[in-house]
Amino acid sequence: MDDFYRELIIDRYKNPIYKGELDPHNFSYEDENPLCGDHIRIDLNIDKNNLITNAAFSGHGCAISQASADLLLETIIGKNIDEVKAISKDTILELLGIELGPVRLKCALLSLKVLKAGIYGIGEIEEDLADL
Amino acid sequence: MGLDVKKIKSDFPILAREIRNGIPLVYLDSAATSQKPQVVIDAMTKYYQFSNANIHRGVHTLAEEATGMYEDVRKKVANFINAKSEKEIIYTRNTTESINLVAQTWGKTNLEEGDIIVLTEMEHHSNLVPWQMLAAEKHLNLEFVTVTDDGLLNLQVYKELLEKSPKLVSFTHMSNVLGTINPVKEMINLAHQAGALTMIDGAQSVPHFPVDVRDLDADFYAFSAHKMLGPTGFGILYGKEKLLDAMPPFMGGGDMIKKVLLRSFKPNDLPHKFEAGTPAIAEAVGLGAAIDYLQALGMDNIALHEHELTNYAFQKLSEIENLIIFGKNNNRGGVIAFELGIIHPHDVAQILDRHGIAIRAGHHCAMPLHEKFGIPATSRASFYLYNSYEDVDRLVEGINIASDLFG
């Protein structure tokens, strides 16, 4: 067995739990890694207490980027926005359980980048949006 | 004559290295850049050890030696592609700069609003963006020859576009993704009949098979040293003398002038008119050594070896389940881009790397072509004179390992 492509990573790539789009959702943000064309969109439902109640991601990319997105969403469901803001690169690497070079690190961190760019961008969630 | 690949491999020190303990390198990324034989490395080292000086205008021995070495390479390059004279060989940094030079000098001077430039869908970004920039500035129209499902240029579309009287046609001799070798001679002939000039991107052709610019009747032809066993940072623009002569200079500075006053200058004669500033002298010397090496083996022999090796690889790869090769035609050079089931090209490349096999994954600087085929990226293996049948077998083994891992 390949120690890089751990079973967890292959499994989450082939059978992601959080892949898809949320309908309805009150948060959506997307971005891509221009180096490889990997593209990720993240949909969230955030309640009025700033708690993430549900999450899904869509797009395409390598096993590392897709598996890390799936694992990231698993981690943030049930957390509030401040807790999500505190998630770091190390959290992702811990979830993946592998060492990454600088190129593949970008793949692994794409979903976190999308999530953070989105969350810092929206600031406080509007009351009416939070009721969705 | 068949190539003695074992002997050739031993000429390239890097090919003897291991990627990890006990895992030797299989280098299948020569379309990106080729490896360098010891003779090229030695030629550049020796230049720095014994002859280093700035060229032209120097009176001392070193300057004369350096100038001689630098200019001898120009003759070698002219001879290699059968240019009429070394005045037609302009030194640049790479193919990209060569194309930009034509766009910024010939293009700026000769094209007017509404003029048409014909390109193709299989171009590398280096033969798209310079024309897009020029088109935006001068309000030109870009038209594109389409690519068929088999990865060939649609010559019917080409002929129709020529009826619109384009001023310039610019296309690649060989696709860096599909491996397709385009019918350049026929296309140049058609362009000339329609009154258009021709610019050929030869980055993937000159290193791999004989190219005769006079036989092709190309007006401009560009290629890079680093893809033909030479150093990076050095490229060639071939242009017909009367065209180059009529073009304004590209960059301004030392060496490209005959005379400078405070408010004006008189440009130098060809080829120096286009070469401003201290150039890459050691790199020129390196290219000279690379050409000697290629010619000693014979470009026909190199082309034959790569043709047979590519056929072998094509057949072996075709047998792999879920593997799709882009561009299924016979008129191809040693480049094979493929898709492997659900496995992302970056994962394919990474798994292969873990077995010492270097291929490339991504859009290979041809995003529009990938978009056309509806995929963001492909895996690409490319071959050169130092690749063996065993290298192809190792590639196939590596791909099978990747398939099993994701199976």
Q: Which of A39, A60, A62 sits opposite B347 (nearest CB)?
A: A62
Q: Which two tokens stand for residue B165?
A: 């009287």
Residue A129's pLDDT is 36
Burial letters A20-38, b for 16+ CB under 10 A, else e: eebeebbbebebbbeebbb
Query: What is the length of chain A?
Result: 132
pLDDT at A122: 54
Report if residue A132 sits inside a domain. Answer: no
Residue B365: active-site member: yes
- Determine contact, residues B321/B265, Cβ cutoff 8 Å: no
User: How far is A76 from A54, CA to CA, in rounded Å?
Assistant: 9
Asked if B308 contacts B84 with a C-beta cutoff of 8 angstroms, the reply is no
Going from N- to C-terminal start, the domains of chain B cover: 5-30+299-406, 42-295
R_g over Cα of chain B:
22
The total of structural domains in chain A comes to 1
Q: How distant is the Cα of B376 from the closest Cα of chain A, in angstroms?
A: 6
d(CA B143, CA B128) in angstroms, rounded, equals 11
Residue of B nearest to A100 (CA): B350
Q: Residue A14: inside a domain, yes or no?
A: yes
Compare all CA atoms of chain B with the CA of A1 and give the residue at the minimum distance. B405
CATH of the domain at A13: 3.90.1010.10
pTM value surpassing 0.95: no
pLDDT at B388: 98
A15's CB contacts (< 8 A; 6+ apart) are none
What residues of chain A lie within 8 A of the CB of B377, using their CB?
36-37
Give the pLDDT of residue A6.
86
Six token digits for residue B220: 């401009």
Band (pLDDT 50/70/90 cuts) for residue A31 is confident
A129 in a domain, yes or no? no
Residue-level length of chain B? 407
Q: ∠B388-B8-B350 over CA atoms, to 5°?
A: 50
Q: How far apart are CA B247 and CA B240, in angstroms?
A: 11
What is the complex's ipTM, to 2 decimals?
A: 0.84
Q: A131 lies in a domain?
A: no
Is residue A128 a part of any domain in this protein? no
SS3 B357: strand
Helix/strand/coil for A71: helix
Q: Strand, coil or helix: what is B172? A: strand
Which band of pLDDT confidence, cut at 50, 70 and 90, is reported for residue A131? very low
So what's the architecture of B42-295 in CATH?
A: 3-Layer(aba) Sandwich (3.40)
Across the interface, whether the CB atoms of A2 and B405 are under 8 A apart is answered yes
Residue B341, chain A, CB below 8 Å: the answer is: no
Q: DSSP labels for B290-353?
A: HHHHHHHH-HHHHHHHHHHHHHHHHHHHHTSTTEEES---SSB-SEEEEEETTB-HHHHHHHHH
Q: Tell me which residue of B165, B182, B111, B174 sits closest to B140, measured CA to CA.
A: B111
pLDDT at A117 over 90: no
pLDDT in tens, A13-23: 999 999 999 99
Round to whole Å and give the CA distance between B191 and B197.
Answer: 7
Q: What digits encode the pLDDT tens for the residues A57-72?
A: 999 899 999 999 999 9
B39 burial via Cβ count (<10 Å: 0-12, 13-18, 19+): middle
Query: What is the mean pLDDT of each successive set of 10 residues along chain B, which is 407 residues long?
Result: 93 96 96 98 98 91 96 98 98 98 98 98 97 98 96 97 98 97 98 98 98 98 98 98 97 92 94 96 98 98 97 96 89 94 94 96 90 90 98 98 93
CB B283 within 8 A of CB B231: yes
Q: Which of B39, B365, B396, B401 is catalytic?
A: B365
Looking at the domain assignment, is residue A15 inside a domain?
Answer: yes
The whole domain housing A100 covers 7-30+38-123
- The residue in chain B having the minimum alpha-carbon distance to the alpha carbon of residue A101 is B350
Contact indicator for B66, B51 with CB cutoff of 8 Å: yes
Handedness of CA B130, B100, B79, B233 (dihedral sign): negative
B346: distance to nearest CA of chain A, Å? 6
CATH class assigned to B5-30+299-406: alpha beta
B362 in A contact zone (CB under 8 Å): yes
